[in-house]
Structure 1
Amino acid sequence: MADTGTSGGPSAAQRRVLAPLALAQFICSFAGSNMNVMINDISEDLDTTVQGVQVAITIFLLVMAALMIPGGKLTDRYGRKRCFLAGLVVYGIGALLSAVAPGLGVLILGNSILEGVGTALLIPPVYILTTLLFTDMASRARAFGTIMALGGIGAAAGPLIGGLITSWISWRAAFVFQALVIALIIVLSRHLEDPLPPDPTRPFDTVGAVLSAAGLVLVVMGILAADDNVWLMIALLAVGALTLLWFFRHVRAREAAGKEPLLSTSLFRDRTSNLGLVTQNVQWLLLMGSSFTVAAYLQVVRGYDAIETGVVFTAATVGLLATSLAAERLAKRWPQRTLITAGFVVTIAGIVVLISMVNSFPSAWAFAPGLLLLGLGLGVMLTPSVNVVQSSFPEEQQGEISGLSRSVSNLGSSLGTAVAGTILVAGLTASAYAAAMIALAAVGLIGLAAAVFLPGTPATRA
């Protein structure tokens, strides 16, 4: 096991294992946020609208969410490393296709579909392998801290890195950058070893995969339709809800027949895990929703270019980096419930500051205090939320819970962009910006309530 003999810092062997896994989370999180600063450039180059770019970003996040559960199950059948490498290849092809896209349709195919599918294949193995290779709580907290730190940095620094690349070269070069990082991860992955052999005879619930994906897609597309057609929104939401109900009935029927479903209902019998999943969903909803809202407001309403917008987001990056890298030390001093609760309090405070300061001061620096608080709060709670969920289940269920966990998180990301983006795009004014941020703060209170009800556990000890 990777954590053998480590009571202090990570060994060279651990760093070799963690490097490709953490970089994979970084680039997938980067892809979800870096397009936020390219809104004007992409819309002008591809002759589309802000709403068109929002749809592309949301579909990318939605494809990840819809396919993450099937992706997690496929790791049991084909092996975690094999799925990881397959996902990297599909993602790389999508990034290169996006770089040469002549129109919005090809961009959606490359970025939203192929990169989304690739991410759904490669991300579950990241969390499964981390849980299997780091078996004690201290080393696992350290490993998840590193992975979530790079994931948070990718999401928060995506606007800055994307802004620099877009301003200095082109928005297309940002996708070439993604492809280069993917190539580096593939090279580093030669050190990875799968601790569990694949089981080619493991059944795969194709009907369940289709129903779960269709249900999630319909729900999010319904939210996106809110500013165009209320009746279409209601219809999509209703059909989506019915499809998800059909999916859960299908799961129960397979379990009653003694067959393995896509998602075992036993995953939802653990109260701690359920509450942890809610906090994960809300965390990523707040991160991606606020990122899109602030970036779109700065570019469309205030007229900032890509690099100026990216620089503003440096405050969030600093906050996320500071608290994410301190995850192991924080886990040793404070219970996970305390960290998650404190994270939500600080994050919601950051959103409140973003609303009040921006309305009071015209300077771009008025965004810095709120974004810093947002980054600090999210960085504090990202790692303990993942640890709470992953550690609630034994090795044989890691494929299922990893897929569910990542699906819930990415659903939060897509909902954040869809909900906040729909409110903002409907008006694209200062009042619409405030309304979108208020909606995010309200959702944050739901996450805070879930954190408060988490059972108390002692701080992690090495």
Structure 2
Amino acid sequence: MTTSASTGAAAATARSGAGLVLAVLAASQFLMTLDSSVMNVSMPTVAADLGTTITGIQTAITMYTLVMATLMITGGKLGTIMGRRRAMGIGLVIYAAGSFTTGIAQNLTQLLIGWSLLEGIGAALIMPAIVALVASNFPADKRSAAYGLVAAAGAAAVAVGPLIGGAVTTYASWRYVFFGEVVIVLLILAVLRKLNDVAPQPSRIDLFGSLLSVVGLGLFVFGVLRSSEWGWVIAKPGAPAPLNVSLTIWCMAGGLLVVYGFLRWESRLEAAAKDDPTALQPLLRPSMLANRQLTGGLGMFFSQFMIQAGAFFAVPLFLSVVLGLTAMQTGVRLVPLSIALLVTAIGVPKVWPKANPRRVVRLGLLLMIIGIGFLVAGMDPDADASVMTIPMILMGLGLGALASQLGAVTVSAVSESETAEVGGLQNTATNLGASMGTALIGSVLIATLSSAALTGVASSPEINDALKSQISTELVGGVPFVSDEQVATALSAAGVSQSEIDAITEINAQARLEALQVAFALVGFIAIGALFFSTKLPTVAPGSTVAAAGPDPTGPPKRD
């Protein structure tokens, strides 16, 4: 971004009020993340209200993620063409229409149209625009704090979603969450014109490239999201298995091939546009991916959301299933994480505005690793819920450290005219990371639980051979993650003796704990792996004098 552009952004923000601008962008990011976390704790109630099944609601969640992830790159380009503020406004209107439709939905079809489709399309326009509008409203030296607050708002929505969802579902109706979103959108739209924006760059949209990106990303993400039902490589019993290989692999491989074709097509358009400015502009310039700082930032975003999604998948299971907490109590135990995240995301740029981004990110990863270590060590079926406090604070501090740096790192790697496209790439990376994190941790959790439980049943002298055989046959596809009470109730209804019920319940409790420990250990290993990919991050804060006149970001980064 040029100095004059930075000055213009600062002046515009001063006129409109930095607080108002941040409130609008943070509230928008909060909305984009709130839905899924509320829906996850409200699934049984929503399913009963709409006359559908838990599987039906899970399908809606899957489709919402799928629509969002596949349209992010296209949404970013549309922001460049029509203007980021206008794209965000259109996205908000579509999102509000989807929220209202969801709020009045009477069946699964209406939920799919309102939530999965309309809200997904709206989010694909809004989220890249948020990234670009931070850049156009704040000078480079203020962006780390702004991006930190916006990212913290999204992460806080994940953490407090169960609390909000549990409270609203218990004392009113899940529908009020979506009606509330409509009200918030209307408030945002009322002040949206206060946000500064750069001039749009009208051009034709690359429809073929958009189709390729949607198909490629769609196939890949769909395969990942279905991995828990199909299996990753070896198909689960009853799952589709072309050539004796799980359909998950076929979808992921097919998606990657289409994405490769998409990049080749975009490279061709980019080369043609250099010679002829009137030629069709690419949806994405592949040459941007040669920028080490950009790819380093995107890689860390992918890692962060993989870690974050995996942790937020497993932590509620420990609190609700193992410790028996309600949705509201589970949400309360996640509040320390939200507070720590918010404090760090805002505080680091304010206290250390010229902090070395690479060091801050590495420190954040180390804090998360330590927090996960404390969590695994403190796991026990008889533990008090307070055992979560220190791990949640450490993980919140770690996530906040990453949030305080990564947004500014990715955007500062390109010119202001490319910030919307980078916003699309950034949100594609976060969606892919979250999908992979949830699917991978979920698969490992169930696989470990199944192995430990079935092995325990097979070796138990208290269980008769006929019951062992029946359990092995019925649970060959995987052991469900359920509470001791649910296990005892199901076995009692099946006429199993009390001694065998006690033995199986104890085996399930131990297997469940082992599965959670392995799942969290994997989250920790992902964080350790991310440390090795942090070398592409810059060592100088974006917006500093040195950074402005620093080396070519495509060159090798300075060793830290």
Matched, 1:194 2:184: no
1:138 is matched with which residue? 141
- List alignment gaps of at least 5 residues for structure 2: 1-7, 236-245, 274-279, 447-477, 482-511, 546-560
TM-superposition CA deviations, 1:348-369 (whole Å, max 9, x none): 2222333332236432222232
Contact 1:319 1:379 in 2 (8 A): yes
Compared CA separation, residues 453 and 61, structure 1 to 2 (3 A): same
Tell me if 1:235 matches 2:256: no
Aligned-partner residue type, residue 264 of structure 2 = R
Percent identity over paired residues: 34
Does 1:182 pair with 2:185?
yes
Q: Which of residues 265, 269, 284 in structure 2 aligns to 1:250?
A: 265
Equivalent pair of 1:351/1:441 in contact (CA under 8 Å): yes
Kindly indicate whether the alpha-carbon contact (under 8 Å) linking 1:289 and 1:440 is maintained by their aligned counterparts in 2.
yes
Matches within 5 A, 1:8-407: 13-46=17-50, 52-135=56-139, 137-196=140-199, 198-200=200-202, 202-229=203-230, 230=235, 231-258=246-273, 259-300=280-321, 302-332=323-353, 334-359=355-380, 361-407=382-428
In structure 1, how many angstroms separate the alpha carbons of the residues matched to 2:68 and 2:290? 25
Partner of residue 539, structure 2: 456
CA contact (8 A) 1:346 1:374 kept: yes
Distance 1:148 1:458, change over 3 A: closer
2:24 aligned with 1:3: no
Q: 1:72 & 1:192 partners in 2: Cα distance?
A: 18
Give 1:84 shift: 0.7
- Is the CA contact (8 Å cut-off) linking 1:163 and 1:309 kept in structure 2? no
User: Do 1:64 and 1:119's aligned partners in 2 also have CA atoms closer than 8 Å?
Assistant: yes
Q: TM-score, normalised by structure 2?
A: 0.75
The letter of the residue matching 1:108 is L
What is the distance in 1 between the residues matched to 2:263 and 2:36?
Answer: 29
Counterpart of 2:11 in 1: which secondary structure? Answer: coil
Q: Is the 8 A contact 1:58 1:414 kept in 2?
A: no
CA shift at 1:246, angstroms? Answer: 1.7
Cα distance in structure 1, aligned partners of 2:320 and 2:423: 36
Matches within 5 A, 1:404-423: 404-423=425-444
Distance 1:403 1:225, change over 3 A: closer
CA deviation vs aligned residue, 1:279-329 (integer Å, no higher than 9, x gap):
111112222232133224544555433212211211211221221221322
Give 2:517's aligned residue. 434
Higher alpha-carbon deviation: 404-413 or 449-458 = 449-458
Instruction: Give CA deviations for 1:175-210 in whole Å, capped at 9, x if unaligned.
Output: 2222222122112213224231x233x121111112
TM-score normalised by L of structure 1: 0.90
Q: How far 1:263 moved relative to its partner?
A: 0.9
Equivalent pairs, count: 456
CA distance in 2, matches of 1:290, 1:432: 13
Aligned to 1:4, the other structure's residue is in SS state helix
Conserved? CA contact 1:30–1:155, under 8 Å: yes
Give distance in 2, aligned partners of 1:412 and 1:319: 22
How far does residue 453 in structure 1 lie from its aligned partner after superposition? Answer: 4.3
- Which shifted more, 19-28 or 145-154? 145-154
Q: 434-443 or 167-176, which moves further after superposition?
A: 434-443
Deviation at 1:53, TM superposition (A): 4.1
For the 8 Å contact 1:88–1:118, the answer to whether it is kept is yes
Q: Is the 8 A contact 1:272 1:454 kept in 2?
A: yes
Equivalent pair of 1:223/1:418 in contact (CA under 8 Å)? yes
CA 18–38 in structure 1, closer or farther in 2 if over 3 Å, else same = same
Over the aligned positions, Cα root-mean-square deviation in angstroms equals: 2.6
1:313 touches 1:371 (CA, 8 Å); kept in 2? yes
Q: Using a 3 Å threshold, how does the CA distance of structure 1 residues 458 and 97 change in structure 2: closer, same or farther?
A: closer
In 2, Cα distance between equivalents of 1:276 and 1:399? 15
